[in-house]
Amino acid sequence: MSSLTATNKGAATREAILEQAYSIACSAGLEGLSIGPLAAAVGMSKSGVFAHFGSREDLQLAVLDKASERFIAYVLLPALKCPRGLARLRGIVEAWFDWSRHTDGGCVLLAAVNEYDDRPGSLRDSVVDQQKRWHQELGRAVQLAIDTGELEPDTDTAQLAFEIYGLALVVHHDAGLFGFDAALVRGLRAYERLIRSYAAEPVRA
C-alpha cells in the first residue's frame, strides 16, 4: 500500500468516526460521547479510535468543529449569494430558523453552550470562540443593511444581532416542543416586527 493510499484510508476512517460521533452528540451532547460505545458503533477497537483522536477531549473538540462547519455551510454560505442588505440578513435568519428542523435530535452547538458555559477548559474556550465569531457574522450582516440605507445609520449592530439571536433560540426551543411549522411562523413574524423597528424607512423585512 502506498503512503498516499494509506493516508487517504486513514482520513476516510477518521471522517467515519467523526460522523458517527457527531450523530451521537446531536442527541446526547458532547458529554454523551464515550469512546467505548463509539468504537462499537463504527466496528473498531477503542485503541483504533484513539489512534485517530488522542483523547476524548480531542474527539469532542473535533465534533464541535464539525458542527460549526455544518452550521456555517447550511446557514451562512447560501445567504452570501443574496444581495447585501436586508435580503442577505433575512436569508441568514430563514436558514438559521430552518436549522432547527435540519438538526434532527438536537443542535450540538446550542447544547455545547449549556454544557460548558460554566466549565473552564479547552471545550469552553472553543464554544466561546465559535459564538463570538457567529455574533460577529451577524453584526457584519446588520452593518451591510445599514450601509445599503435599509436600516437606521445609528443602529447598534451588536444589539440587533443579540435580538436576532434571541429569536433563533426561541424558534429552536419551540420547534422541538410544539412543532417546527408553528415556531417558524411566529419566528418570522417576530423578525419582521424587529426589523421594522430599526428600518430607516418602511421596508419589507
For the chain, which residues make up each domain, given as ranges?
A: 3-198
How far is residue 47's CA from residue 96's CA, in Å, rounded to a whole number?
38
How far is residue 22's CA from residue 65's CA, in Å, rounded to a whole number?
10
Report pLDDT digits (tens) over 106-128. Answer: 899 999 999 999 999 999 999 99
Contacts of residue 134, Cβ cutoff 8 Å, sequence gap at least 6? none
How far is residue 205's CA from residue 193's CA, in Å, rounded to a whole number?
8
- Percentage of the chain modeled with pLDDT above 70: 93
Full-model pTM: 0.89
How far is residue 146's CA from residue 156's CA, in Å, rounded to a whole number?
10
Q: Can you give the pLDDT at residue 18? A: 95
Q: What is the mean pLDDT of residues 186-194?
A: 98
Whether residue 201 has pLDDT greater than 90: no
Whether residue 54 has pLDDT greater than 90: no
Q: Which CATH architecture has domain 3-198?
A: Orthogonal Bundle (1.10)
Amino acid identity at 201: E
Report pLDDT digits (tens) over 119-174. Answer: 999 999 999 999 999 999 999 999 999 999 999 999 999 999 999 999 999 999 99
Q: Can you give the pLDDT at residue 7? A: 64
3-class DSSP assignment, residue 57 = helix
- Spatial contact of 134 and 115, defined as CB atoms under 8 Å apart: no
